[in-house]
């Protein structure tokens, strides 16, 4: 499939995997609909995407935790941006790494509201139009954490397990339509993920990637682009990817 002129909606596009995905689709000449909470950083990504080759870019200051804001953003799109062809449901985060019985409930709520409810709100607002138009592709950003729980990460892993189930359920619900649904489930990716998880503690975040060559946002974006550009009759249900230093969420080899 060619992406020239097709509208691609990417949530959480201000940094990390979202920003890398914007660059990958920009290079294919797509029209990018980008959203994030950090308007300043999002503007920087939009500018770089245009320089990379995007046909056009439209940015939305959006917090996916608000279902009313999500629906309003989609309902109020200019007509030339309304027919979304590809949705990359990327907005997500992890907060804290404590035992379940000592965790901060505020952290739990932020993860649940973003990783589960936010994904649902965006899909609910966008997918009906795809069904009516009989074309579209939803890519949900999952995680290996949705397959194997690791210590001190129960709630984050739980949100990604839920995302995995929702992804599969959506694909089942869309059976009989041409709309495709894919989950991309990476292992360790070096972005701001750990910095966010540890509430800005850069030293602690750096230790996560010490002694390994982790995935990059570009690696994940490349997989997303590959899945979306398969022939229209091919649905990539799920892609799980790691660095060669990682076997799963519990087994990581660190060079001395």
Residues labelled catalytic: 156
Nearest to 36 by CA among 3, 79, 70, 81: 70
CB 185 within 8 A of CB 142: yes
d(CA 23, CA 53): 9
In DSSP terms, 157 is beta-bridged to none
CA distances from 228 to 2, 5, 162, 237 (A): 9, 14, 23, 11
CA distances from 120 to 9, 64, 116, 173, 251 (A): 15, 9, 6, 14, 31
What order of strands is seen across the sheet that includes strand 238-241? Answer: 56-61, 31-36, 7-10, 86-89, 137-141, 180-186, 238-241
């Amino acid at each position: 499939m060619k992406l020239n002129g097709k509208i691609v909606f990417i949530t959480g596009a201000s940094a990390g995997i979202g920003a890398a995905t914007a660059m990958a689709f920009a290079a294919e000449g797509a029209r990018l609909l980008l959203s994030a909470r950090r308007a300043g950083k999002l503007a920087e990504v939009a500018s770089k995407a245009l320089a990379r080759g995007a046909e056009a870019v439209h940015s939305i200051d959006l917090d996916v935790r608000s279902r009313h804001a999500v629906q309003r953003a989609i309902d109020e799109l200019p007509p030339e941006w309304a027919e979304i062809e590809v949705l990359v449901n990327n907005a997500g985060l992890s907060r804290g790494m404590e035992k379940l019985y000592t965790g901060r409930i505020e952290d739990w709520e932020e993860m649940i509201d973003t990783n589960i409810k936010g994904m649902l709100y965006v899909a609910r607002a966008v997918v009906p139009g795809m069904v009516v138009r009989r074309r579209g592709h939803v890519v949900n950003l999952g995680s290996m954490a949705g397959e194997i729980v690791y210590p001190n990460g129960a709630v984050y892993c739980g949100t990604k397990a839920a995302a995995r189930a929702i992804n599969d359920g959506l694909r089942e619900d869309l059976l009989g339509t041409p709309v495709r649904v894919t989950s991309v489930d990476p292992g360790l990716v070096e972005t701001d993920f750990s910095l966010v998880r540890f509430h800005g503690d850069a030293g602690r975040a750096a230790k996560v990637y010490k002694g390994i060559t982790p995935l990059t946002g570009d690696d994940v974006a490349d997989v997303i682009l590959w899945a979306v550009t398969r022939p229209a009759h091919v649905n990539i249900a799920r892609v799980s990817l790691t660095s060669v230093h990682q076997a799963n969420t519990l087994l990581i080899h660190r060079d001395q």
